[in-house]
Amino acid sequence: EAGVTQSPTHLIKTRGQQATLRCSPISGHTSVYWYQQALGLGLQFLLWYDEGEERNRGNFPPRFSGRQFPNYSSELNVNALELEDSALYLCASSWTGEYGYTFGSGTRLTVV
């Protein structure tokens, strides 16, 4: 069974540009979660999608947005990039309900 896949692995952008990160969940998982892990910090919850709908959003500005497609894959968009957006962005998927998450390997975004 394929795990959660994220692309690209690394992304370098200039301040003010837009970044698009992609995530494919494990087959059958309908929930996708996005987290930001800045250097030296823990995981900060960004967004939760389930069945194509945004279910919950963390304490991040509106320039962080995303969507979930009919095949349950997901996209995270970050507009007007700032230097502080440099971080490892992790995507996870799970069954809906009381289950653990399966994480992808992450996209390391560097804003210069």
Partner 1 sequence: SQQGEEDPQALSIQEGENATMNCSYKTSINNLQWYRQNSGRGLVHLILIRSNEREKHSGRLRVTLDTSKKSSSLLITASRAADTASYFCATRGAGDYKLSFGAGTTVTVRA
- Letters for 9-48 (x = contact with partner 1 by CB under 8 A, - = none) are ----------------------x-x-x-x---xxx-x--x
Using the 8-state DSSP alphabet, how is residue 8 labeled?
-
Residues 81 to 100 in contact with partner 1, rule: CB under 8 A: 88, 90, 92, 94, 96-100
Please give the angle made by the CA atoms of 5, 58 and 88, to the nearest 5 degrees: 40
DSSP-based three-state secondary structure for 83: helix
Residues near partner 1 (CB under 8 A) are: 4, 31, 33, 35, 37, 41-43, 45, 48, 50, 55-56, 59, 88, 90, 92, 94, 96-106, 108
